[in-house]
A = this chain, B = another copy of it.
Amino acid sequence: MSTAPLPTSLSEVPAAAGAVLDDFFDITLPVTRAISPVVGQASEVVADFVRLGGKRVRPTFGYAGWLCGLSSPDRRPPIPEQLGSDALRVCAALELVQACALIHDDIIDHSDTRRGRRTVHRLFAAHHRDAGWSGDADDHGVAAAILAGDLALAWADDLLGGHTPARRPVTVAPSPLPAEVSAVWSAMRTEVLGGQYLDIVNEVSGDETVESAYRVMEFKTAAYTVARPLELGARMAGAPDELLDDLRSVGHDLGIAFQLRDDMLGVFGDPQVTGKPSGDDLAEGKRTGLLAIGLRRADEQDPAAARSLRAALGHRLGPGELARVRETLVDLGAAAEVERHVDDLLGTAVVRLEHAAIDEDIRAELIAMAGRIAHREA
């Protein structure tokens, strides 16, 4: 068990959450190797995916909620009283839910790369080819990645409670979680899966409305990435209802802003910085907020632009075509509308944070993080 000190600032959360995940894998991977060496190797793929993965946005928001709750003058310490190590562990568990979401999403989207590396199903397919196994390699890759995602989801729940598939707990004696924390965790997982399903249905049913795109953002991103993590951490600390309301509102606004930025980066981003091919969302026919706003504007102003936007969906675009889509979205004013919306959401979130009953340190950190989220380049 790592004895690293608990984070005192949000910038320390990614490393601290990573250390918790390392501890979990140190205990868990030997169990998988004992089942069979090949199972150990597959589990290592899941562990690597998590270890190398991402910016730890959800654990950071989770821990921010914890620090907000702790600093609230009106907090009601939960029974049993939760420790900082419990809170950090719960936050780290969010990364395992995210690993499942991404591994399965990449299968669903037929994505080849993620964060500049091969996606998990492609990795297993390549392994199948290298080993000269029989049958269809891509098919095997999908099968293995379905199970790998399931494993990550099961492990997320293990880590949430501080348990492992070995007889050893992650922490020496994890306290049972308050029921309200489990309820938030439960709601969050159903919401993100519901949002993902709605997303694929919007895609195939050709639902182009701005309302539908925002509904997906609300559940697939805003609740899952920001609002629920903030609430999870805050409830670990016994935050009062007023603060929970503040954090839900901030979480919603920042979550939508986060996703709208993602939509913008998907079309206008630099693949060298984002780690994924630009135009991917278009190629996959994703019904993003940006696209919905673009189509609504085009239908109102410019039928030719509407036709060319729709024609660009659902297949890989050459550099020239992508440049034309970018130009169309700019000319229609869609890009500017999204930027305005991001600024508005950031503004309301910051105002709400300015008035929340929390310590100045965590307030300043959250406001800075909000700005980075809304204006990030990857």
Contact = CB atoms under 8 A, between A and B. Distances in A.
Contact of A39 (B164, B186, B198): B198
A73 interface: no
Interface string A112-134: 00000000000000001001011
Contacts of A146: 104, 107-108, 146, 149
State how many copies of this chain the complex holds: 2
B197 A147 contact: yes
B38 A198 contact: yes
Interface in A180-202: 182-183, 185-187, 189-191, 193-198, 200-201
A174 to B, nearest CB: 7
Contact of A198 (B35, B158, B190): B35
Nearest to A146: B104
Nearest to A173: B179
Given A146-B104, A150-B150, A163-B186, A134 B204 contact: yes
A59 B173 CA distance: 28
A31 B192 CA distance: 12
A205 interface: yes
Contacts of A198: 35-36, 38-39
A1 to B, nearest CB: 16
B144 A38 contact: no
Contacts of A190: 28, 31-32, 35, 151, 154-155, 165
Interface string A168-184: 01000110110100110
Contacts of A342: none
Contacts of A140: 200, 204
Contact of A104 (B150, B164, B183): B150
Contacts of A167: 183
A81 interface: no
A158 B38 CA distance: 30
A143 B200 contact: yes
A186 B200 contact: no
A25 B201 CA distance: 22
Contact of A144 (B142, B164, B197): B197
Interface in A26-53: 28, 31-32, 35-36, 38-39, 42-43
A157 interface: yes
A161 interface: yes
A285 B150 CA distance: 23
A176 B176 CA distance: 6
Given A151-B193, A153-B150, A183 B164 contact: yes
A206 B131 CA distance: 12
Interface of A: 28, 31-32, 35-36, 38-39, 42-43, 100, 104, 107-108, 128, 131, 133-135, 140, 142-144, 146-147, 149-151, 153-155, 157-158, 161, 163-167, 169, 173-174, 176-177, 179, 182-183, 185-187, 189-191, 193-198, 200-201, 203-206, 215, 219, 285, 314
